[in-house]
Amino acid sequence: MPDTCKEAEPLNLSAEFPPISTAAWEAAIAADLKGADYEKRLVWRTDEGLKVKPYYRKEDLAGLEGQTDVAPNEYPFARGAGAGWTIAQYLTIPAGAVRGDLLHDSGATAVQELAYALAEGVDALVALTGTGLTADDAAPRIQFVFGVGSNYFFEIAKLRAARLLWSQAVSAFGVAGEPGRMRIHAVTALENKSVCDPWTNLLRCTTEALSAILGGCDSLTVRSFHYPERLAENIQLVLKEEAHLDKVADAAGGSYYIEALTASLAREAWKLFQQVEAEGGYAAAKQSGAVDAALKQSRDTRAKAVSSRRRTLVGVNNYPNLNEKIAGSEEPSTGRLAEPFEKLRLRTERHAARTGRTPMVLLLTHGDLKMRMARAQFCQNYIGCAGFQIAESMEYAGTDADIVVLCSSDSEYLALAREVCPNVKVPVVVAGNPKDQIEALQQAGVTGFVHVMANAVDTLTAWQDRLGMEA
C-alpha cells in the first residue's frame, strides 16, 4: 500500500493572520459605535479610579521592560519566586505581620491595600533596623498577608504590584537581590461572602485561590464560609495536584492586560504611599484617623453599589434561591457586603415564623409580551432577595397577595393601574420608572416603583415596614 502521508508543512500564523495596526482596530470600533461615546461605552472606571481599556496590545507595555524582561525570582520580583505555593490552611499568622487582608475586609480598594500595607511594612523595617539588625536581615523577616477578592485579574495584578512596590521601597534602605523579595501569604476575602446561597462562596473561593496562585503568593489559606472546611483545602489540592499550577512560573507574565494593570496599580499605590509617608508614616496616619476615614469612604461606596445592585453578589442581591431559609445561619456583624440583604431575609423569615405565613407578592403580568416577561423576571430577582413568596399571574381577582406589582409596558400602566388599584386592598407597585406618568400613576393609587435605579435595601425595607414586620 503506497505511503500517502506527506511531511507536515510548518504552520505560519503570521502569513495566515497578517498584523493589524491599532489605528485600524480603533477605526473599526468607531464604525461599530456609530457615534456613541467611546469612553462611556467601552472604558471601565474602577473603584481605584483607574481606567481599564477594552483591549491591550504590545505597545501598552512600552517603558515596562524593567518589569517584563526579567525571569521569575529576579529583581524587581513582579514575576514571583518561580516556585509553587505552600498550602497553609491552618497557618497561625504571626504577631506583627502586615495585615493587608484586614484592610481588604475593611473596604480597602486594591490601591489602598497596597499603599497602606507598604507603609506599614516600611514602619516595621525601620523598627527592626532600629534594634541593630541590618536591612538585609530585617526585610525577609517581615510577613505580608493580603486578602484576595473576586475581582479576578485585579487580584492577580495586585500581588505582582505588591512585590514591585516592596522592592522599590527597601532599595532605599540599601536592600537588593533576594532579601528584597516580599514574602506574601494570601487569604481569601470575607467581605464578599454570605450565608445566603453558601455554595456560591465555594465558587468565589476557587477563583480567589486561582488569583492568589497566579499572582505568585508564597502560601495560601482558603477560608471556608458556610461550606465544609475540607472543601476549602480541596480547592488548593485540586489546583496543585490536578491543575498542576505549581509547575508553571508566573503563568500571567507577558499578558498585555495584566502587565499593564500591574504597573497601573503599582503607580497609583506608590502615590498614596508617598502621601502616607509625608504624613509621618503608617502609624501616624492610622492614629490621626486618616486611614480609617479613607477606608470608610471606599467601604461606603462599595456597599452602596451592592445595595443598589450595580455590583452583583450572586444569591444575595441577584439570582436568589427563592426556596432557601437562612434562619439559624446568622453571623456576627463584621461589615460583610451581604449583611443588609441577609437582614432583610431573616426579618421576613422571623415574621413568617411568628405569623405562620410568608408575605406574598403577586406579579400581575399584562399586555406587551416582551415587556411583561422582562419586568416579571427582574422582579423575581429583586423581590426574592427579601425572602418574600412570589406568584405570577395575569389575574388579580381572588388572590391573597400582600403586595401587587404591575408588570407591563409604560404605555399600558396608567390604564392598568386605574383598573387594579380600586379593586384591591393591598399596596400596588409598578415595575419600571415611567417618569412622565409617575404623578398620574400615584393619583390612580400606585404606592411605589421598583426599577434598576432604586436602592434595593431601602425599597425592600420600606415594603417590610408597610407590612408591619418587626425589625
Boundary of a domain, candidates 278, 306, 334: 306
Task: With a cut of 80, say whether residue 316 has pLDDT above it.
Answer: yes
User: What's the confidence (pLDDT) of residue 65?
Assistant: 94
User: What's the confidence (pLDDT) of residue 32?
Assistant: 96
Boundary of a domain, candidates 272, 306, 340: 306
Task: With a cut of 60, say whether residue 200 has pLDDT above it.
Answer: yes
| 287 and 356 housed in the same domain | no
User: What's the confidence (pLDDT) of residue 9?
Assistant: 76
Task: With a cut of 60, say whether residue 386 has pLDDT above it.
Answer: yes
Enter the C-alpha cell of residue 117: 500595607
pLDDT tens digit sequence for 246-289: 999 999 999 999 999 999 999 999 999 999 999 999 999 999 99
Q: Note the pTM of the prediction, 2 decimals.
A: 0.92
User: What's the confidence (pLDDT) of residue 397?
Assistant: 85
User: What's the confidence (pLDDT) of residue 5?
Assistant: 56
In whole numbers, what is the pLDDT of the chain averaged over residues? 95
- pLDDT category of residue 242 using cuts at 50, 70 and 90: very high
341 vs 7: which has the higher pLDDT: 341
Average pLDDT over residues 152-156: 97
| 249 and 118 housed in the same domain | yes
User: What's the confidence (pLDDT) of residue 16?
Assistant: 78
Given strand 360-365, what is the order of strands in its sheet?
Answer: 389-393, 360-365, 403-407, 428-431, 448-450
Average pLDDT over residues 50-58: 95
Which range has the worst mean pLDDT, 12-21, 154-163, 172-181, 379-388? 12-21
Average pLDDT over residues 324-337: 92
Q: Within 13 Å of residue 391, how many CA atoms lie on the same side as its CB?
A: 15
Task: With a cut of 60, say whether residue 2 has pLDDT above it.
Answer: no
Q: Is residue 39 part of a domain?
A: no
Residue 383 CA to residue 363 CA, distance in Å, equals 10
| 280 and 358 housed in the same domain | no
| 301 and 419 housed in the same domain | no
User: What's the confidence (pLDDT) of residue 47?
Assistant: 87
Percent of the chain beyond pLDDT 90? 92
Residue 140 CA to residue 177 CA, distance in Å, equals 11
- For residue 151, the enclosing domain spans 51-306
Which ranges in 357-471 belong to alpha helices (H)?
369-384, 410-420, 438-444, 456-466
Domain count, the chain: 2
User: What's the confidence (pLDDT) of residue 6?
Assistant: 60
| CATH classification of the domain holding 80 | 3.20.20.240
User: What's the confidence (pLDDT) of residue 4?
Assistant: 56
Boundary of a domain, candidates 247, 275, 306: 306
Average pLDDT over residues 292-307: 96
Which range has the worst mean pLDDT, 8-22, 93-107, 169-183, 353-367? 8-22
| 233 and 378 housed in the same domain | no
Q: What is the DSSP secondary structure assignment for residue 365, as one 8-state letter?
A: E
